[in-house]
Amino acid sequence: MINHMNDNTGRILLIENDPQIRNLIAEQALKPLGYQVDVFESGASVVEDLAPILGDTAPDIIITDLNLPGLSCKDLMVALASCGVKVPIVVIANKGQEADILQTFRLGAVDYLFCPIRETEVIAVIENVLNKLQVQSELEVISNKLSQTTSAMERQNADFNEIFSFIKQACSTTDVRLLPEKICSLAIKLTDADSTWLLTLDANQAMFILRACQNVPEAMQSRLNLPYEDDLSSLTIVSGQVLSIHGDELARFSGFDWIGAALTVPVIHNGEVCALFTAARNTPQPFVASQQAMLELTADYAWILLGNSGRFHQMEQSLVSLKQANIHAILESNLKYDLLRQASLELRSPLKILMEKANTLLDEPEYKLSRGQSTALNDIQEELEILMDISDSMLVSRQKETVQVLVDFDLNDVVLSVVNRFRPIAQMGRIMVNLDLPSQPSIIKAYPVQITKVIEGLLSNALKYSPANGEVTIHINQNDRDTTLMVNDQGDGVDENFADRVFEINSGIFGNTARRFGGIGISLATVKEIISAYEGQIWIDKLKDSGFTIAFSLPRG
């Protein structure tokens, strides 16, 4: 039997055979606050009718009695999991059933209520679970946005590589007559167009010449290297503005019934349109802003290569800077995504420990704590401090990099700053952090925030896998060619057969559980990605039975 109640702030599915408990939770506690509550009297009836759980209006939370008749609560949770139900579950239990509650947590329960049920406890538990769901949803949204941004940056970086490669080839081309066709091929690739054509101004004749074209009708092809004019070009010449048009809007321009979308960008020199570049598609799919930017950049390079070779090297340097900035923008996006991922992994172990410690307290009379309970409370406080560290690290990871160019800075100062911030974490694990730094500044050229995250990641990794009363040592050496930093711990090390996999994103070399919390640091895969972007090297210096050392080197200047 199922009863439906008013829908407002959230939807709860209640499985309870006791009418008094059903009435207290649904009618007295949740309904007055606007929650919709669907009530089942047994677990078997839920399994028989999964529509309210799997449908478009799936509940936000399931509340179920641990002592259900017939199909038990634990069997019900197993059955729901096998059906793909991933709704958070709150368990109703009696005092003395703490061991059973712990088993339900292993099956996926997120919280519990003790009988006798109190309205305030019901409301507090429901609101706490819903708040956690909201935070999790927000983190997923942030992660998806970062992933989309990274994909867009990677595509843009690939486009920059295409242009950069084309310029290199253009520099070695002895026959300048081949350049216009190559430029058109590049434009098609960068804008996902079907055809392109290029017009340049002939100052002597005061008219535009069709310099190159690809995949155009034969009538246009016959006008190659001759004066050429069309309605799209004429409008762009007059306005001096980019023209993007598609679909029915093309009907007012004669001679373009063979295309569905067009993008025309002008090249302006000394206040005058000196060249026009048009990309077209057979379908009415409009060109997006990133494609317009790529076509504008291509048009600018076409004009430079064809009309003014003296400015070529200046623009080449500009493209190199754009490419480098884009590479590091991708690294920053990956770094933030990696920090969120690492935070998610680190949160699981402390929360599990907190639940086990809380279970210890439930075995004793209320308000009277034994020595063991006091110890458990101290452990809980330490784990809460860990969660606070994680929260702080997640906030720090979202701060924006303010330095927009590579700068010279002292690597010694960065190491000192990182170690000072990590000393409380090291002290909790009874680990000594030693420094072996040169007396002179170790100057490198890089983005300081990225190198800071590299050192944080290596130190965090060393603290996680070091034994109690162990030591972690950081060395810096510098010579005329490069600067080397080594982080050594006294952990178990890695078998040499698996050494090459240490820097893979999901290598699992160290196992799923660290010895302790070591702070939130980026993964070794991201560390390698950052070092490689600076044309540096990263490697393992010591292997099994001799501790574990990770070292990297960066070229000086």
CATH 3.40.50.2300 fits 11-117, yes or no: yes
CA–CA gap between residue 363 and residue 373 (Å, rounded): 10
Q: Residue 525 half-sphere exposure, CB side, CA atoms within 13 Å?
A: 14
Which region among 59-73, 451-465, 532-546 has the lowest average model confidence (pLDDT)?
Answer: 532-546
Please write the tens of the pLDDT for every residue from 142-195.
877 777 666 666 666 665 666 666 555 555 555 556 677 777 877 788 888 899
pLDDT at 442: 92
Q: Which of 77-86, 200-209, 280-289 has the highest mean pLDDT?
A: 280-289
> Quick one: pLDDT at residue 486?
94
Split at pLDDT 50, 70, 90, the class of 274 is confident
Q: In the predicted model, is pLDDT for residue 67 greater than 90?
A: no
Using pLDDT thresholds of 50, 70 and 90, give the confidence band for residue 437. very high
CATH homologous superfamily for the domain 173-307: GAF domain (3.30.450.40)
The pLDDT value given to residue 537:
92
> Alpha carbon 18 to chain centroid distance?
47
Q: Where are the alpha helices (DSSP H) in 366-489?
A: 371-397, 411-428, 448-464
Contact at 8 Å (CB) between 188 and 196? yes
pLDDT at 8: 47
Lowest mean pLDDT among 20-24, 405-409, 432-436, 484-488: 405-409
- Residues whose CB falls within 8 Å of the CB of residue 418, separated by 6 or more in sequence, listed in order: 452, 455, 456, 459
Domain spans of the chain? Answer: 11-117, 173-307, 401-557
What one-character-per-residue DSSP string does 470-500 give? -EEEEEEEE-SSEEEEEEEE-S----GGGGG
What is the dihedral angle through the alpha carbons of 27, 33, 38, 42, rounded to the nearest 10 degrees? -50
pLDDT at 538 over 50: yes
Check pLDDT > 50 for residue 121: yes
pLDDT of amino acid 416: 95
pLDDT-wise least confident of 252-256, 311-315, 475-479, 522-526? 311-315
- Tens-digit pLDDT profile for residues 299-319: 777 666 665 443 444 455 555
Contacts of 219 (CB under 8 A, 6+ apart): none
The hierarchical CATH code for the domain 401-557 is 3.30.565.10
347-356, 515-524, 535-544, range with the lowest pLDDT: 347-356
Tell how strand 89-93 and strand 61-65 pair up: parallel
User: Hey, which residues does 3 pair with through a beta bridge?
Assistant: 39
Task: Choose the most confident range, by mean pLDDT, from 21-30, 340-349, 359-368.
Answer: 21-30
Parallel/antiparallel/unpaired status of strands 11-15 and 36-40 = parallel
d(CA 353, CA 366): 21
What gap in Å lies between CA 394 and CA 506, rounded to an integer? Answer: 21
Give the per-residue pLDDT at 2. 39
- What pLDDT score does 327 carry? 64
CA 355 to chain centre: 29
Least confident residue range of 74-78, 292-296, 309-313: 309-313
Is the per-residue pLDDT at 455 higher than 90? yes
- Is the model's pLDDT at 126 over the cut of 70? yes
How large a percentage of the chain has pLDDT more than 70?
A: 67
pLDDT band at 525 (very low <50, low <70, confident <90, very high): confident
pLDDT in tens, 386-434: 665 655 555 444 444 444 567 889 999 999 999 998 988 888 888 999 9
- What tens digit of pLDDT does each residue of 195-241 get? 988 888 887 878 888 888 889 899 888 988 898 888 888 888 888 88
Q: For residue 473, which phi and psi values (nearest 5 degrees)?
A: -125, 135
Q: What is the pLDDT of residue 140?
A: 78
* Res 13: pLDDT: 86
Report pLDDT for 469.
87
The pLDDT value given to residue 311: 46
CA distance 466 to 342: 18
- At residue 112 the predicted structure's pLDDT band, cuts being 50, 70 and 90, is confident
Q: What average pLDDT does range 79-88 have in this prediction?
A: 83
Confidence of residue 54 (pLDDT cuts 50, 70, 90): low
- Poorest-confidence range of 33-42, 132-141, 428-437, 440-449? 132-141
Calculate the average pLDDT of the chain. Answer: 77
> With 70 as the cut, is the pLDDT of residue 96 above it?
yes
Query: Would the pTM count as exceeding 0.85?
Result: no
Query: How large a percentage of the chain has pLDDT more than 90?
Result: 11
- What is the reported pLDDT for 170? 55
